[in-house]
Amino acid sequence: MGCGTGVSLARSGIRRASRRLTNLSGVADSAVSGLGEQPAADGTEVAVVTALRAGDEDAFRALVRGHHASLVRLATTMVDSRAVAEEVVQETWLAVIKGIDGFEGRSSLRTWIFRILVNQARRRGAREARAIPVPFLVGTRDTADGSAVDPARFVPDGQRWAGHWCEPPAPWTDLPAERFSSKETVAAAASAINELPSRQREVVALRDIEGLTGQEVCQLLGLSEGNQRVLLHRGRATVRSRLEKHLGGEG
C-alpha cells in the first residue's frame, strides 16, 4: 500500500471530525443554527431566484436559514476572527441582494453564494494586509521534497517493498467514539485545518466540512480538477498527521 492509498485513509477520520466541528462550532445564532443546508432542486431553485428578484422577504429569510451557518464556518477559516467572519457574511448577504439579478444559473445558487463569500473574505484579507508569522506555518506545508507525507514513513529505494509503508497508519475506526469526538480532538482538527496554506484550507473546508463536490469546488475557486485533487490530498495528509500525533499514533 503506497502513499496515495495510505493518505486516503484520512478521509473518513477527517470527515468524522469535521461533522463534529459542525455540531460544536456555534457559528450561527439560534435563528439559523442546525437548519438544513442542502442545495435546492433545480425547479425549486428557479422559484427561489424568481422570488428573490421580486423582493420576497420570506424567500430571503429562508435562504439565510439554509446557508448562513455554512457561510460563517467557511469565513472563519479565511479570516482572523469570528467577528470579522460575521462581518464578511453580512457583506456577502448584501452582495447577494444587490447581485441576484445577475445570477445566470451556470452554477447552483449555493455555489454562487459561496463564491461571493470567498471573494469578500479575500478582499477583506487584502485590505487588512493579513500577516501570518513564519513560526505559525512551520509543519503545515509539504515536506522539503514536495511530498505530502514524510518519506521516512516508507521503505526506501533499493530495499524490498520500496515505496510501501514501513508501518501502515492505524485505522481510526478502531478508536472509541467518545475519544474521537472529544472536544480536544475537535480542537486539534480545527487547528490543523486553520493552519493549512490558504488554498488547501479552502479546499478541505469546502469538501470535508461543507460537503461540496469536487466539481463545485473547482467552479467556486477557479481550480482545475487535477489541482483540486492535489490540494485536497495534501491538506488531508497534513490534517491526518496532526491528528495521529494527537491521538497517540505515529506523527
If asked whether residues 192 and 231 sit together in one domain, one would say yes
Residue 122 has pLDDT above 60, yes or no: yes
Query: Residue 26: its pLDDT value, please?
Result: 36
Residues 195-210 have a mean pLDDT of: 89
If asked whether residues 15 and 65 sit together in one domain, one would say no
Look at the block and give the residue holding cell 529505494.
157
For the whole model, what pTM was predicted?
A: 0.63
Span 50-91, pLDDT tens digits: 999 999 999 999 999 999 999 999 998 888 888 999 999 999
CATH of the domain at 142: 1.10.10.10
If asked whether residues 69 and 169 sit together in one domain, one would say no
Span 146-171, pLDDT tens digits: 555 666 666 667 776 666 556 666 66
Q: Is residue 233 part of a domain?
A: yes
Span 7-58, pLDDT tens digits: 444 444 444 444 444 443 333 333 233 323 344 445 688 899 999 999 999 9
C-alpha cell at 39: 442545495
Q: If phi over 0 gives left and psi between -120 and 50 gives alpha, with beta otherwise, what is residue 147?
A: beta
If asked whether residues 103 and 169 sit together in one domain, one would say no
63 or 177, greater pLDDT: 63
Query: Residue 29: its pLDDT value, please?
Result: 33
Q: How far is CA 140 from the centre of its chain?
A: 15
If asked whether residues 206 and 180 sit together in one domain, one would say yes
Contacts of 114 (CB under 8 A, 6+ apart): 70, 71, 74, 206, 210, 212, 220
Q: Is residue 132 part of a domain?
A: no
Counts of helices then strands in the chain (DSSP H, E): 12, 0
DSSP symbol at 1: -
**Structural domain of 48:** 28-127
Residues 227-232 have a mean pLDDT of: 92
Q: Is residue 41 part of a domain?
A: yes
